Chains A and B, each alone.
Chain A
Amino acid sequence: MTDSTTRTPVIIDCDPGHDDAMAITLALARPELEVLGITTVGGNATLANTTRNALRILALLGRTDVPVAAGSPDPLVRPLETATEVHGVSGLDGADLPEPASTPRPEGALEFLRAALDASTEPVTLIPVGPLTNIARLLRVYPGIAAKIGHISLMGGGMVHGNWTPAAEFNIWVDPEAARIVFRSGLPITMHGLDVTHKALFGYPEIERLDAVGNRVGRVFADLMRFFVRFHLEHYGIADTPIHDAVAVAHVALPGVVTTSPYHVDVEINGDITRGMTVVDRRPMLGITPNVDVALDIDRATFADLMIEAVASYR
């Protein structure tokens, strides 16, 4: 067991979301991490729904002590586009979740992030697994606070391919301008894009394992995953479903579980058919200075074991 004094302080910025729920569940189960709070953003669903979902997950996990602060309802520039066809209208369709047992912090995500970073004696790792609106706002409104950010371990993007559009992954697609601000910030960034998250897969065998855990958390996640698998089966013809957001948490909790490589990454914000594309330059001969560690690989079995272990750690 890791001593609490050596825990990495983290803040999860998310838009739950089925895979966001897995990310939160993993983070709160890992002894290596100290979760300072959860901030929410409009993305997979509206901000009202993603905030409510974060509170419901914490109620399920019995962790209503973890502060939640609601952030930006809309992207920096364009109107919000939600992913209700993936996650359902609530953002977390498919399972019987408890009602919220706590309330969001009154100050909102921006002030919560600033205060939490300010109060931390050591650099904080941000784990944004939704659109990057809150993080971009923080960097723009309180530029001085960047010094307290040790690392940004984000889920988003893909090496020249997407999911929401053929060129763009959903989180980046929703707020490309925010993503560009973050990628150009100079902060240490690990990008967990589709290249790696498409290897962190849950299919029917993993769902059986969730059921077999025998606790309520396991049953709820088995139901959530059955809903999530149905979308992927219907739309991709593949039952194996990427648990995108939890990969960004796994990387912080257990360095080495995700393989990364340093590359230069920029975000396309103008292209009519490429808006939201993360342009990852892997060409070795050009001497371009990398700005991002791009995640490339994770072992499916190791990842599944981590998730099942996390789920089993709750009552």
Chain B
Amino acid sequence: MSAGFNLEAWGPVHAVPTYHRATSGERTAPFGTAEHPIPLIIDSDPGLDDALAIGLAAASPEIRFLAVTTVGGNADVTRCTENALRLLHAYGRDDVPVAEGAAGALLGSVVRATEIHGESGIGTTVLPGSPNAPRPEGAVALMARLLEESPEPVAIAPIGPLTNVALLLRLYPRLAASISHVCLMGGSIGEGNTTASAEFNIIADPEAADVVFRSGVPITMIGLDVTHQALLDRAAARELRELGTAAGRVAADLTDYALDRNLEWSGAATTAIHDAVAIAHLMVPDLVAVARYHVAVDTTHGPARGRTVCDGLPYRLNRDGRQPNADVGIVIDRERFTRLLVDAFARLP
């Protein structure tokens, strides 16, 4: 699995420790194929990169797309819900139900990223309205029902704050057994983005992230270490636009907006499509290299709040009586990722 990955690229990218690192190993996450698609719920706060992640899932026969549940994060939850409905409509997937979840974190705080994603969550893009409405039962109840009704365990890809998933695990503990895998976008081994220590999705609700990482459910953490290698540039945006489809235009508009914001924000000519990596990992067995870590979340209120503390050193894990609880993404092939996204959008209307 690790053959062909440039592990040297791991170190310098995001100040991931280089003296010792966990050994790149076999993934534990399941993945879908066209013959046996993986049943998947996306829990999301769309969100520019969320929109591309949802598009990737919508277009891919490897995924049996059960639902999008929404959570307040990149923008207010009502905006995120409307965005999810409209995105699915634009992608020709009105069959995928949407349900609205938590407006704020478990302990009530509200963290937003509208300076990146715009007040609407999807920049300046205006999408046609959807004929659908969100399901009345709400996100957590819909997730619970889908898990109960599914003949096989279901994967969840939380690509926003982990509030809904934490509530699901707390309200329906017996349904943990029906979750095949939580493949989440959030956290980092190295540096954060919202703070020096913390990535946005985790610091938006550290207590929820703590519940999820302690749950015992199989987890893959797709953090900044790998998502900052999953970059689109202007050329990729142009390719998406030149598909000549409505979905391609949406993806191009969102990517261009993200590129503009990132140029202002950090001077970079690329933009990380964080959330789509979590979806891609559930479709392509050898796109993302992972290593086993024990991941714990700082829920205190100092400068490290929201930090995902990743330990992959066997002697320290033994000393402290801890076991690895997550696959952590470390390397992705940027070119293959770009192709995967463009090819997916080429299949959308």
Residues of A in contact with B (beta carbons under 8 Å apart): 158-161, 165-167, 194-195, 198, 234-238, 242, 264, 266, 268-274, 277, 279-285
B109 CB–A CB distance under 8 Å: no
Q: How far is the CB of A20 from chain B (nearest CB, A)?
A: 19
Of B15, B20, B193, B302, which is within 8 A of A274 by CB? B302
Give me 8 A-to-B residue pairs in the complex whose CB atoms sit less than 8 angstroms apart, sorted by A's number: A167-B304, A195-B15, A238-B20, A270-B302, A271-B307, A274-B197, A274-B300, A281-B196
B17 / chain A contacts, CB cutoff of 8 Å: 158, 161, 194, 198
On whether the beta carbons of A282 and B15 are closer than 8 Å, the reply is: yes
| A167-B309, A236-B315, A282-B191 known; A273+B15 contact, CB < 8 A | no
Q: Knowing A161-B17, A194-B19 touch, does A271 contact B196 (C-beta < 8 A)?
A: no
B187-222 contact mask (Cβ, 8 Å, vs A): 1 or 0: 001111101110000000000000000000000000
Tell me the minimal C-beta distance from B143 to chain A in angstroms.
29
Q: How many A-B residue pairs have CB under 8 A?
A: 96
- A281 to B20 CA separation, bound complex (whole angstroms): 22
Minimum Cβ distance to chain B for residue A285 (Å): 5
Q: Could you tell me if B267 and A273 are in contact, using CB atoms closer than 8 angstroms?
A: no
A237 to B16 alpha-carbon distance, docked (Å) = 18
Inter-subunit contact A273/B301 (CB<8 Å): no
Partner of A160, one of B20, B197, B265, B311: B197
* B residues in contact (CB < 8 Å) with A: 15-20, 189-193, 195-197, 265-267, 296, 298-305, 307, 309-311, 313, 315-316
What is the CB-to-nearest-CB distance from A214 to chain B, in angstroms, rounded to a whole number?
Answer: 31
> How near does chain A come to B200, taking the closest CB pair, in angstroms?
13
Find the B residue at minimum CB distance from A197.
B19
- Can you name 15 extra interface pairs (CB under 8 A) apart from A167-B304, A273-B309, A277-B197? A160-B196, A161-B190, A166-B309, A166-B313, A167-B309, A235-B315, A236-B313, A236-B315, A264-B196, A271-B298, A279-B304, A280-B196, A283-B193, A283-B196, A284-B267
CB-nearest residue of chain A to B190: A160
Residue of A238, A242, A271 most packed against chain B (CB within 10 A): A271
CA distance A161 to B307 in the complex (A): 11
Are B304 and A277 within 8 A (Cβ)?
yes
Within 8 Å by CB of B15, from A160, A236, A268, A270, lies A160
Q: Is the interface of B mostly helix, strand, loop or mixed?
A: loop
- Does B298 lie within 8 Å of A274, measured CB to CB? yes
A264: chain B residues at CB < 8 Å are 196
Q: Which residues of B sit under 8 angstroms from A270, Cβ to Cβ? A: 300-302
Which 5 pairs, one residue from A and one from B, show the smallest C-beta to C-beta distance? A274-B304, A198-B19, A281-B196, A166-B311, A235-B315
Given contacts A160-B190, A160-B196, A166-B309, contact A285 B302 (CB under 8 A): no
Chain A residues closer than 8 Å to B315, beta-carbon distance: 234-236
Give the CA-CA distance A279 to B192 in the complex, in Å.
Answer: 10
> How far does the alpha carbon of A159 sit from the alpha carbon of B16 in the complex, in Å?
9
What distance in Å separates the Cβ of B304 from its nearest Cβ neighbour in chain A?
4
Q: Decide if B266 touches A279 in the complex (CB within 8 Å).
A: no
In the bound complex, how far is the Cα of B196 from the Cα of A158, in angstroms? 13
Count chain A CB atoms within 10 A of each CB in B20, B301, B303, B315 and give the residue with the most: B303
Q: How far is the CA of A284 from the CA of B262 in the complex (A)?
A: 12
CB neighbours of B302 from chain A (8 A): 268-271, 274
Asked if A159 contacts B191 (CB within 8 A), the reply is yes
Whole-angstrom CA separation of A160 from B309 in the bound complex: 9
Separation in Å of the A215 CB from the closest CB of chain B?
Answer: 31
Q: Which residue of B lies closest to A276 (CB)?
A: B304
Measured in the bound complex, the distance between the Cα atoms of B310 and A283 in whole Å is 21
In the bound complex, how far is the Cα of B20 from the Cα of A242, in angstroms?
Answer: 12
> Across the interface, do A285 and B266 meet the contact criterion of CB distance under 8 Å?
yes
What chain A residues lie within 8 Å of B300 (beta carbons)? Answer: 270-272, 274
Give every chain A residue within 8 A of B298 (Cβ-Cβ): 271-274
- Do the beta carbons of A273 and B191 come within 8 Å of each other? no
Distance, CA A265 to CA B1, complexed state (A): 38
Which residues in A have their C-beta under 8 angstroms from that of B267? 284-285
Give the residue name and chain of the B residue nearest to A242 (CB).
Answer: B19
Q: Are B196 and A274 in contact (CB under 8 A)?
A: no
Query: In the assembled complex, how far is the CB of residue B316 from the closest CB belonging to chain A, in whole angstroms?
Result: 7
Bound form: Cα–Cα A242–B191 in Å:
22
Taking the closest CB of chain B, its distance from the CB of A203, in whole angstroms, is: 13
Which residues on A sit within 8 Å (CB–CB) of B19? 194, 198, 236, 238, 242
Q: Is there an interface contact between B313 and A279, defined as CB atoms closer than 8 Å?
A: no
A280 and B313 CA atoms in complex are apart in Å by 22
Indicate which residue in B20, B189, B196, B299 contacts A282 across the interface (CB closer than 8 Å): B196
